């Protein structure tokens, strides 16, 4: 168990358009070389008002994907002026090479998806490591989702 007192960052993406690609990374976290990170929370919500289930996977990647958009990483503590070590992209339409699948869920878009691990289940990403929230099944049509990730760097 790693006990850390580091800097906490988040990415909040409001109303992104998720297309019907069957394999894309909703979030890709590419950790820099100067710190490890611990994923603390993931949240996904949808504006869809009818039930549609999709498979979400949280997995490690050995290579970085392409086709995504850079997100803005923000420090949770307003006194923290240090730039995040981790760079986050979203809607990565050509994912990198998959490694270990750490979690897999079928999510009904009628309710929020929340991944908040207990301390013993927190995922640690070493310097230079990659972690992705992958959409493994296609949505029926373009959907509007909001996504939040929170992590600690140390």
Bridge partners of residue 103, in order along the sequence: 58
- What's the whole-model pTM score? 0.93
Question: What's CA 109's distance to the chain center, in Å?
Answer: 17
Mean pLDDT of 7-13: 97
Up-side HSE of residue 140: CA atoms within 13 Å toward CB?
A: 7
Kindly report the length of the chain.
154
Say whether pLDDT at 72 is over 80: yes
What pLDDT does 74 receive?
96
Q: How many other CB atoms sit within 10 Å of the CB of residue 120? A: 6
Largest Cα–Cα distance in the chain?
Answer: 44
CB 28 within 8 A of CB 95: yes
Mean pLDDT in residue range 71-88: 94
pLDDT digits (tens, 9 = 90+) for 87-120: 999 999 999 999 999 999 999 999 999 999 999 9
């Amino acid at each position: 168990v790693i006990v850390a007192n580091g800097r906490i960052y988040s990415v909040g993406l409001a109303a992104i358009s998720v297309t019907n690609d069957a394999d894309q990374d909703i979030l890709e976290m590419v950790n820099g070389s100067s710190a490890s990170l611990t994923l603390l929370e993931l949240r996904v919500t949808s504006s869809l008002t009818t039930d549609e289930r999709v498979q979400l996977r949280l997995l490690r990647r050995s290579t970085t994907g392409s086709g995504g958009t850079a997100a803005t990483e923000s420090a949770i503590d307003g006194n923290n002026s240090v730039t995040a070590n981790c760079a986050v992209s979203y809607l990565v339409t050509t994912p990198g090479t998959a490694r270990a699948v750490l979690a897999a869920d079928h999510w009904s878009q009628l309710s929020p998806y929340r991944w908040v691990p207990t301390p013993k289940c927190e995922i640690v990403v070493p310097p230079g490591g990659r972690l992705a929230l992958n959409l493994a099944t296609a949505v029926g049509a373009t959907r509007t989702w909001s996504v939040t990730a929170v992590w600690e760097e140390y």
